[in-house]
Amino acid sequence: MAGVNTMEKKLAEYKCDTNEAICLKLVRFPEDVEDDGTTFHPEYSHQSYGDDEVAFGYKGLQIQLFYTAGNLSTLFKVKYSSKVTEAFDCVEPDDIEGKIREIVPAGFTCNTDDFISLLEKEANFKPFGSLLHTYTVHSEEAGELTYQIHKADITCPGFHEYHERLQTFLMWFIETASFIDADDDRWDFFLVFEKYNKDGETLYATVGYMTVYNYYVYPDKTRPRVSQMLILPPFQGEGHGAQLLEAVHRFYCSLPKVQDITAEDPSESYVKLRDYVLVKLCQGLPTFAVDKLHLGFSADMAKEAQDKLKINKKHARRVYEILRLRATDMSDEEKAREYRLEVKKRLFGPYRKNQRELTKMRKCLRPEELVSHMDQMDTQTQHEELEKSYQVVVEDYRRIIERIAAQA
């Protein structure tokens, strides 16, 4: 038994956290390759290396996936200090390379010198598609930086190959990511680039992107649905997501055939970003004026948000709640109570649905089954959960209000 435990301990030394082992980099200059300060790591690697996010068989494992900043030409290398087969018989290491090759498209190099030579071609890289929006961000280190948002589609020369390289980042930063069939002409692609100077030339670095699928709505409309959105980690926290989402929203608002804009299985962070952008867009609409907010959410609000900004009723209702909170003196008990009831009325919807389901159950469930379901829908528990939901919602709303105030 002692021998088994000793063997297990020795084998445990050959386990590596794949989120730490995978080293990602966006390279602009040759010196970036050896600069650890430009390296970033995945948030997730379970789609390649299992739920434990562990690779077995190596000590000191480093999986290098380096990309040229613009065209995303790729260097892929695997390094390690020791491999399990060198020390033990009949123990096989994980196929590290095979799992990466399933994600990274062909055409990458495994030679660092060849990769550095590809940087010389970055001056030839230009953003795909048509320019939608230009904006600047102030950086303490670099001063004013200029960014561009472009709309592209699969017909743009070279875009298909570029997109295959770009979407590899999804696997590391979106928990349930999947690759899309980019050849379907209903896909729109929106890309963010940073302009930068190198040896007197203007070059472009990839910042992030969004994919949108255009669904048909009878009889003659479309419903763009946001599928994936990612701002690459070196650029996160700088406001690029809000700039991208607002630019995309304004683009679709300009198209008369668009019914409204939705998102597929949005994450919590995306919902917060969308709330922020939609509040910015709606706060100037007449129906959302301060003197109308205390009268409650109205059909006129829903209609104006839909007609002018392609915002559906559900999202318009959240915008109304945020703007009403901003316009409400919450230190006034009566006004605070009115606001609280207004929000809880919406939040109570799922509980009301449960009550309707319970009424149906009474007709077909055995007594012991009914008791079980009634326990799950206890009134006191519902009130407690409702209060918790309300507090979470209001806290999120306050952050959005603070962010908008900071931008004013």
CA dihedral 32, 20, 174, 404 (to 10 degrees): -70
Contact between 320 and 328 (Cβ < 8 Å): no
Question: Looking at the structure, do residues 166 and 284 belong to the same domain, yes or no?
Answer: no
pLDDT at residue number 141: 78
Question: Looking at the structure, do residues 260 and 299 belong to the same domain, yes or no?
Answer: no
Question: Looking at the structure, do residues 279 and 291 belong to the same domain, yes or no?
Answer: yes
Q: Catalytic site residue 264? A: yes
Average confidence score pLDDT of the chain: 91
Residue 277 Cα distances to 151, 224, 248, 281, angstroms: 19, 17, 11, 6
pLDDT at residue number 142: 74
pLDDT at residue number 140: 79
pLDDT at residue number 348: 83
In a domain, 2, yes or no: no
pLDDT at residue number 15: 92
Strand partners, 196: 203
Question: Looking at the structure, do residues 279 and 390 belong to the same domain, yes or no?
Answer: yes
Q: For residues 25 and 67, give the distance between their C-alpha atoms in angstroms, rounded to a whole number.
A: 6
Query: What is the Cα Rg of the chain in Å?
Result: 26
Domain boundary among 221, 236, 265: 265
Sign of torsion, CA 6 54 236 129? positive
Question: Looking at the structure, do residues 25 and 58 belong to the same domain, yes or no?
Answer: yes
In a domain, 343, yes or no: yes
In a domain, 7, yes or no: no
Query: pLDDT tens digit string along 215-231?
Result: 999 999 999 999 999 99
Query: Burial, 277: exposed, middle or buried (Cβ in 10 Å; 0-12, 13-18, 19+)?
Result: buried
Instruction: Report which DSSP code applies to 109.
Output: B
Of 264, 369, 384, 402, the catalytic one is 264
pLDDT at residue number 26: 98
Q: For residues 174 and 211, give the distance between their C-alpha atoms in angstroms, rounded to a whole number.
A: 14
Q: Which CATH number covers residue 94?
A: 3.90.360.10
Q: For residues 179 and 167, give the distance between their C-alpha atoms in angstroms, rounded to a whole number.
A: 7
Query: pLDDT tens digit string along 150-161?
Result: 999 999 999 999
Question: Looking at the structure, do residues 91 and 171 belong to the same domain, yes or no?
Answer: no
pLDDT at residue number 168: 97
Question: Looking at the structure, do residues 202 and 292 belong to the same domain, yes or no?
Answer: no
Question: Looking at the structure, do residues 132 and 254 belong to the same domain, yes or no?
Answer: yes
Domain boundary among 122, 150, 183: 122
In a domain, 5, yes or no: no
Cα 350 to chain centroid, rounded: 26
Low-confidence ranges of the chain (pLDDT < 50): 1-2, 361, 370, 374
Question: Looking at the structure, do residues 400 and 272 belong to the same domain, yes or no?
Answer: yes
Q: Which among 19, 355, 285, 310 is positioned nearest to 172, based on CA atoms?
A: 19
In a domain, 6, yes or no: no
How many folded domains does the chain comprise? 3
Q: Which CATH number covers residue 357?
A: 1.10.10.390
In a domain, 288, yes or no: yes
pLDDT at residue number 1: 44
Query: pLDDT tens digit string along 236-278?
Result: 999 999 999 999 999 999 999 999 999 999 999 999 999 999 9
Look up the domain containing 294 and give its range.
267-367+377-407
Question: Looking at the structure, do residues 148 and 260 belong to the same domain, yes or no?
Answer: yes
Q: Which CATH number covers residue 198?
A: 3.40.630.30
Question: Looking at the structure, do residues 19 and 102 belong to the same domain, yes or no?
Answer: yes
pTM of the entire predicted model: 0.90
pLDDT at residue number 353: 52
pLDDT at residue number 320: 98
In a domain, 394, yes or no: yes
Domain boundary among 232, 265, 298: 265
In a domain, 280, yes or no: yes
Question: Looking at the structure, do residues 275 and 170 belong to the same domain, yes or no?
Answer: no
pLDDT at residue number 363: 56
